[in-house]
Amino acid sequence: MSINIKGFLEDCRARGLTEHTIATYKSNIATFLNFVGDPLNVDIPILCQPKRNSEGNG
């Protein structure tokens, strides 16, 4: 599966968003993809799981 993140970020630049905003979007997307894996096969239960921090606590 290929997600066109590069195209999304290019669109953000074309719309005049700041590099800080674009970097934040890119980081948020990476975090989301790391959490869900394949975003085209995400189901509601995985999105409802509680957020875990790096220590594994709620």
- 41 located within any domain: yes
Domain that holds residue 12: 5-48
Q: Is residue 11 part of a domain?
A: yes
Kindly state whether residue 28 falls inside one of the protein's structural domains. yes
34 close to 5: Cβ distance less than 8 angstroms: no
Domain tally for the chain? 1
Instruction: Look at residue 24 and tell me if it is in a domain.
Output: yes
Does 56 reside within a domain?
Answer: no
Contact call for residues 27 and 37 (beta carbons, < 8 A): no
Per-residue pLDDT of the chain (58 residues; tens, 9 = 90+): 356 889 999 999 999 999 999 999 999 999 988 888 888 888 788 778 776 654 454 4
Is 34 domain-assigned?
A: yes
Q: What's the whole-model pTM score?
A: 0.67
